[in-house]
Amino acid sequence: MPNSFFKSIFLISINLIGLTGCAQPANTPQVPRQYEFGTTPVWQDEFDYSGKPDVKKWSYDLGGDGWGNNELQNYTDKQENAHVENGKLIIEAIKEQSGKNKYSSARLVSLGKGDFRYGKFEIKAKLPTGRGTWPAIWMLASNNTYGNKGWPDNGEIDIMEHVGFDQNNIHGNIHTKAFNHSIGTNKGNNTIINTASTEFHIYTCEWTPDYVALSADGNEYFRFNKEPVYQWQQWPFDKSFHLLLNMAVGGNWGGQKGVDDSIFPQKMEVDYVRVYPLIEKK
């Protein structure tokens, strides 16, 4: 037989070996990680004392320069604006001359005293009411690691936001360099709580390496999943964050329909803040 025949047989045999005996096994599908949260808080404030907020747990952001949102209040560390009484933290916005501003209020932060990487965050609160109020329960990165070393590159998690002109509509959002309202790519959702300003409700954030989930009274209404292709621009939520509790007056969002001066003073009351540890199931 001609040599070309034997050459063809040889090549066919090599190809068959490559398709069978040397074939690589298919990739085993990756099993999604499963998480749970501890039942004992690793950090908490039950507000079972009186006077100014616990200095071992809270500091203050101070000033009245608008805070990037054209807000109208001056944040102080005065007891009139933030104090504990009857087992509740009271953050109070008052219509008064404060610095160069017409309103005073408070913004408490746990930075350096309560910094967390993942966990379950529960805050039980009753919200103020009235046009111009803008209370928030939220989180910011404790260190500037990514991008331009500021907002929104290092991330923000809004556990609860409420604007008084849209009563009982509770908002939850995340902000990153890729996803934020300033460029029209915001990620978030909202839910209605008919008694947001007359009763206490529990606002919760579950934060894991794979998702951030927000709920109100145990009802999840927003979830942001980390996709495999995400880099820090989409997901900066792998560093430590701290808590913030504040009530703004007016601003780009809170003041969209003006401020009703007749409603003040207004209070956000907080019954407790509890942080539970993340536990990855094996």
Residue 115 lies in a domain: yes
DSSP reduced 3-state for 104: strand
| Residue 165 domain flag | yes
For the beta carbon of residue 37, count every other beta carbon within 10 angstroms. 18
What is the tens place of the pLDDT at every residue in 213-259? 999 999 999 999 999 999 999 999 999 999 999 999 999 999 999 99
- What domain count does the chain have? 1
Active site amino acids: 156, 161
Residue 5 lies in a domain: no
Query: Does 13 fall in a domain?
Result: no
Q: Would 17 be classed as within a structural domain? A: no
Cα radius of gyration (the chain): 26
Within-domain flag for 273: yes
Q: Is the pLDDT of residue 189 over 80?
A: yes
pLDDT tens readout for residues 15-49: 433 433 444 444 555 666 889 999 999 999 999 99
CATH code for the domain in which residue 220 is found: 2.60.120.200
116 within domain boundaries: yes
Give the pLDDT mean for 167-184. 97
Question: Is residue 19, in this structure, part of any structural domain at all?
Answer: no
Q: What is the mean pLDDT of the chain?
A: 91
3-class secondary-structure state, position 143: coil
Predicted local confidence at residue 27, as pLDDT: 56
Parent domain of 147:
29-280
